[in-house]
Amino acid sequence: MKKLLRHLLPQPLQLALQLDFFTPLQSPPTVSPPASPSAPAPAIGKPAAPAPGRRRIQLHEHALDYTLRRSKRRSIGFVIDDDGLHVAAPRWVTLAEIEGAIREKERWVFAKLAERRERSARLRPPMAWRDGACLPYLGGEVVLRIATREQQVTHFDAERRELLVCLPGDAGEQQLKDQVLGWLQREARRVFAERLPLYAEKLGVEYRSFALSSALTQWGSCTADGRIRLNWRLMHFGLPQIDYVIAHELAHLREMNHSPRFWATVQSVFPEFEAARKALREQGPETLPIF
């Protein structure tokens, strides 16, 4: 099959393997197939007909449903999310060739679908916005304490790890969320302002400015002229994850790419970056409080 596709394409066919985690930092995906080729793959799909808009392929004893989208791209791309496998392919590639590509990556697909299921099983229950609720903060938790006062006040007791939020008696849940969000963003500015200069000095670079981001698909970004944006939701994670994102973005001021030289630059100032990157990937937005 590979030989046939190489003959059809003006350049060799490349399978773009992508994972749709919350805030990909545009790093190369890690493919983790099952340890043994004979290991039984998890059952995918239902005996009934596939849902409208979905196709089905039989892979040994397992039926795999997937969505196929035709595009102008020059390669076949795989994306796995909570709805399963999505395939994007050039218009001129035949269905037989697409399904051949799926079969070649069968072990990878089943492994990633299993990872998604395991990740969903670990989801944090929805946060109850009430007195005594726990809020993820810097890798641990703080307890919300709510008091009734006419003046809205937020105070953090670091020793007791309690966040006191004072609100009028007729305040609703959204007002509570707004107060907590404001506090988290102030904390984010404080922590980021402390950590950025440390890693800028280690890397020997200068950044022009930094701002908070509320992006749903990125933990951070960096422009060529030194403008840094960092997601305030990083405050739900520990300092290793925050430092990794900061080191990652500042490293772009030396390498505006994701080449081996870039990753070597990140590693030079943050040797444990792979563990921090993995921790961010394993905890998606569905595990975090909704504001």
Domains of the chain (ranges; CATH) run: 2-121 (no CATH), 134-287 (3.30.2010.10)
Higher per-residue confidence, 77 vs 61: 77
Q: What is the mean pLDDT of residues 221-236?
A: 94
Helices 260-269 and 273-282 meet at what angle, rounded to 10? 100
For 1-32, how does the pLDDT look when each residue is reduced to its tens digit (9 = 90+)?
333 333 333 333 322 222 233 333 333 333 33
- What proportions of the chain, in percent to the nearest 5, are helix, strand and coil? 35, 25, 40
What confidence tier does 273 reach under pLDDT thresholds 50, 70, 90?
very high
Q: pTM here?
A: 0.62
Query: Partners of 229 in the beta sheet?
Result: 211, 221
Sheet containing 134-137: order of strands: 134-137, 140-148, 162-167, 153-157
- At 172, the amino acid letter reads G
Percent pLDDT > 90 in the chain is 57
Alpha-carbon Rg for the chain in angstroms: 23
Give the pLDDT score at 286.
63
Lowest mean pLDDT of 6-10, 40-44, 93-97, 151-155, name the range.
Answer: 6-10
Please say if the pLDDT value at position 280 is more than 80.
yes
Give the pLDDT score at 35.
38
Distance CA(252)–CA(256), nearest Å, equals 5
The mean pLDDT value of the chain amounts to 81
For 64-105, how does the pLDDT look when each residue is reduced to its tens digit (9 = 90+)?
999 999 988 888 999 888 788 999 999 999 999 999 999 999
Give the pLDDT score at 121.
63
Give the pLDDT score at 202.
96
In 10 A of CB 134, how many CB atoms? 15
Distance CA(161)–CA(144), nearest Å, equals 9
Contacts of 220 (CB under 8 A, 6+ apart): 25, 213, 228, 229, 230, 231, 245, 246, 248, 249
Contacts of 135 (CB under 8 A, 6+ apart): 127, 141, 142, 143, 144, 163, 180, 289
Q: What is the mean pLDDT of residues 127-149?
A: 92
Higher per-residue confidence, 206 vs 52: 206
For 163-218, how does the pLDDT look when each residue is reduced to its tens digit (9 = 90+)?
999 999 888 899 999 999 999 999 999 999 999 999 999 999 999 999 999 887 78
Please say if the pLDDT value at position 245 is more than 50.
yes
Give the pLDDT score at 285.
62
Q: What is the mean pLDDT of residues 216-231?
A: 90
Give the pLDDT score at 128.
85
Give the pLDDT score at 34.
38
Strands (E), the chain: 15-19, 55-59, 62-71, 76-81, 84-90, 134-137, 140-148, 153-157, 162-167, 209-213, 220-222, 227-231
Q: What are the tokens at 160?
A: 């007791």
Distance CA(30)–CA(24), nearest Å, equals 12
C-alpha 226: how far from chain center: 24
